[in-house]
Every structure is written in structure tokens, then in C-alpha cells.
Amino acid sequence: MMDVLLQKMEVYARQHQVPIINAGGREVFRQVLRQKRPHRILEIGTAIGYSALLAVSEGAADAEVITLELDAERAALAAAYIDRSPYAGRIHLRLGDAGVLLPQLPTGFDFVFMDAAKGQYPDYWRKIQPLLSPEAIVAADNVLFRGYVRGADKPPRRYKTIVKRLREYLALVQAAPGFVTDIYENGDGLAVSRRIHV
């Protein structure tokens, strides 16, 4: 049932150019979720609800998701898709700017999927710190942004700030005490930061 719904969403995303997590990224995303089986998931950037549904279906049996989306039209579409799934009661969609919503959230998330405005990742990272459980994992999508983040080629002007901020994000997570970060090149790049105890 989920497979059919997810496939329909993939078709919609392709036809309407909605940037849902791509096939390469999905593979790592699924793997991390299966290993972790998180209970309380925070998603920053819902789009049409694809990764939220993937996360809840690959999470623990009691997994719940709070997901944040700025665009009302996309959020409405996400709500409609989520209503067609078995997880309607477990995905809580909040409309607004993540930078504003994050400080208002409850604490205790054991998995965060960061996938909204790429230029805001350093800000999101700082704002989620008080919300994380002691063994949280933070997965950030698109961190290699079309090869420009670690590549030798200069990014086009319109991507300059995004690329700069994503480099800043990678430096920030790699230097963060109490975290170990793996950067997967699959898809558009996924940075997986795991909180560790020392």
C-alpha cells in the first residue's frame, strides 16, 4: 500500500519538479532509519510529504513526525497524501518558516531530517541542538549540492551563497563536539551526524 502511494508521489514530484529526496539519497536515508528505528522524528521541509511518509514507515512502530513547511500549497498537497496513508494520525504538519517554528517545538527528537532552505542549514543546526535526544541522528540532504560543494568548479552566481553556507554547515557538524558525521555522496549528498557519548 505504501509502495503504491510513494510511487504515485514520485511521479507527481517528477512531473511538477518537486525536489523530493532522490533515488540515491533515499537508499542511505532508508538504511539509516532501519538501523535507528526512531520514535520521534523532526523534518524541516515537507514538500509533498514524501520523505515524512518514508521516515514514519521506516521508523519505530510508534514513530511520530513533526514536519515543517513554508509553502501553503505544498503543505496542502502533503496533507492530502498523508491522509491517504495509514500514518495520518502520526504525521503533524506545521505551516510556517522553519527558522521561526524551530524554537517553539517540544524537545526529545531522536531523528531530524534537514531538507528545507539550503542556505539556512547552519541556522537550523544551531536551533535544533536543544531539541535533540541524547542519541539523536541528524541527516541533512543536498549537502554536496550538484557537485559544487566539494568540486573544483566554481558554482554559478545564483548558487554562490547556498554553496558557501553548505560548506559552512559541513565544517560546523564536523567540528561539533559530541557528534560523528558521515558524508554520503549518494544522491545529492547526505550528511549523517550521530550524537555520541564520550
State how far the Cα of 126 lies from the Cα of 84, in Å rounded to an integer.
34
All cell numbers assigned to 55:
521516515
Residues 115, 145, 148, 149: which binds ligand SAH (CB under 6 A)? 115
Indicate the DSSP class of residue 161.
H
Q: Which residue is nearest to ligand SAH (CB)?
A: 45
- 142: partner contacted, choices Mg ion, ligand SAH, none (Cβ within 5-8 A by kind): Mg ion
> What is the contact mask toward ligand SAH in residues 161 to 190, using x (rule: CB under 6 A)?
------------------------------
Q: Using the rule CB under 6 A, is 116 a contact of ligand SAH?
A: yes
- 70: partner contacted, choices ligand SAH, Mg ion, none (Cβ within 5-8 A by kind): ligand SAH
- 3-class DSSP state of 158: helix
All cell numbers assigned to 20:
523530493
Helix (H) or strand (E) holding 6: helix 2-15
Smallest distance, Å, CB 197 to ligand SAH?
29
The neighbour count for residue 91, using CB atoms within 10 Å, is 25
- 47: partner contacted, choices ligand SAH, Mg ion, none (Cβ within 5-8 A by kind): ligand SAH
Strand 190-195 with 179-184, pairing: antiparallel
All cell numbers assigned to 14:
517528477
User: Which residues lie near ligand SAH (CB under 6 A)?
Assistant: 19-21, 45, 47, 50-51, 68-71, 74, 97-99, 115-117
User: Which residues lie near Mg ion (CB under 5 A)?
Assistant: 115, 141-142
